[in-house]
A and B are shown apart, each in its own frame.
Chain A
């Protein structure tokens, strides 16, 4: 670990919490609504999937905004929102130690079975 904490704030993966330039107090971003991450579950009973982020003043407003912004093309039957600062994220620096070791372990995949045509969502 790099010893630095990361969050998903910004909506696109790990963003450092400390030691980064921020807006001056009382200006711009400080007065902006907090960022929320949005997860939508589709009609066919799949799990909730991260679809994007938005700003809202509180949890209730975030749910309404998520409905308006992310389900307008008939996508969803359920929405989750969570403040981006509550999402702990892995750091880009540790990408190799975190994920590379699984790259060559083909035996961990169930790819040696054939999947019947009528099984969806695999």
Chain B
């Protein structure tokens, strides 16, 4: 997929004219020193759904991974214009956009595997399947872990949440890169590079806040205590994850638990922060986020996220 760059031959002129007058090679993309090659992560990938996996299970599995990314992305993007300073504002927005990109690919894959998961829209609606999944499902249809949905707190809260979230997701995606579904594999290969940066970002800030001032350390420890009960859910294998993992298409979260623990223990040790003792947040009759059981916060978040799309179900964006 090639990206459009401003046409240097436009007679109207553009901000790039000054750059171009030194280049006799106008019209040739080799003249551009910066930012023209955008890659389609699915270029050349066989998008046929593998025959040896239950398409319905694959679809739900893609919703789980996609909803984690979508909901986490939205929480991060709520920081826009509110972060402690400009540079962190942009860093959080970049992270949110990375996750939104992953969500888009995963929700599209869910729809391709089983069109039955996509909410019905009015006849002739131009809304693509991944948008229908993002904007026209109720909270009870979302399969994300509850860690992703809790409302934002302070910056330390976001650092802790991102550390837990990206450590687990990176470990999952490293395994998912060898999925027998070529699309999931391609999504994972792309995601690993993004998630490695997210984890690095969160880990550095975790250390900085822990070893900063009394106030920063206090806030970090409080955030860790608040979020810790939500962490075990990320490493619990849901029956659907079990099915796709046995089919060689997905990854069972409990299989990466020890790898994630090594990373977190290292961050805690370097930061000289004790591992919290809190018990896992219980589900309701055994149901958790992966089953569509969520806190009230998700409904409120979705109401804001979905309101415009739902008001115009036949809108073209």
Majority secondary structure, B binding face = loop
Task: Check A43 against B37 for contact (C-beta < 8 Å).
Answer: yes
Select B24's contact among A69, A73, A117, beta carbons within 8 Å.
Answer: A117
Task: Check B94 against A68 for contact (C-beta < 8 Å).
Answer: yes
Size range of the chain B interface in the assembly: 20 to 34
| Chain B residues with CB below 8 A from A82, complex form | none
| Chain B residues with CB below 8 A from A73, complex form | 34-35
Distance in angstroms between the alpha carbons of A117 and B23 in the assembled complex: 10
Q: Which residue of B lies closest to A49 (CB)?
A: B33
We find that the number of chain A residues with CB closer than 8 angstroms to chain B is 27
- From residue A54, how far is it (CB to closest CB) to chain B in Å? 5
Task: Check B34 against A120 for contact (C-beta < 8 Å).
Answer: no
| Chain A residues with CB below 8 A from B35, complex form | 42-43, 73-75
Give residues 32-88 of A contacting B (CB, 8 Å).
33, 40, 42-44, 46, 49, 54-57, 60-61, 64-65, 68-69, 72-76
Task: Check B24 against A115 for contact (C-beta < 8 Å).
Answer: yes
Known A64-B201, A115-B24; contact A74-B38, beta-carbon cutoff 8 A: yes
Give residues 29-64 of B contacting A (CB, 8 Å).
30-38
- From residue B275, how far is it (CB to closest CB) to chain A in Å? 26
Known A43-B37, A68-B94, A74-B35; contact A120-B30, beta-carbon cutoff 8 A: yes
Name which of B22, B35, B87, B90 has the most chain A CB atoms within 10 A of its CB: B87
A interface footprint on B91-115 (CB within 8 Å = 1, 0 otherwise): 1001000000000000000000000
- From residue B26, how far is it (CB to closest CB) to chain A in Å? 11
Task: Check A69 against B90 for contact (C-beta < 8 Å).
Answer: yes
Distance in angstroms between the alpha carbons of A43 and B32 in the assembled complex: 9
Assess whether A22 is interfacial by the CB under 8 Å rule. Answer: no
| Chain B residues with CB below 8 A from A61, complex form | 204
For the A-B complex with A55-B86, A120-B23 known, give 20 more contacts whose Cβ atoms are closer than 8 Å. Answer: A40-B34, A42-B32, A42-B35, A43-B34, A43-B35, A55-B85, A55-B87, A64-B91, A64-B201, A68-B90, A68-B91, A68-B94, A69-B87, A69-B91, A73-B34, A73-B35, A74-B34, A76-B34, A120-B30, A122-B24
Instruction: Jot down 16 A-B pairs with beta carbons below 8 A, ordered by A.
Output: A42-B34, A43-B35, A44-B32, A57-B208, A64-B91, A65-B91, A68-B91, A69-B86, A72-B94, A74-B34, A74-B37, A75-B34, A76-B34, A115-B24, A117-B25, A121-B33
Which 5 A-B pairs give the minimum distances between C-beta atoms? A42-B33, A75-B34, A68-B91, A65-B87, A74-B35
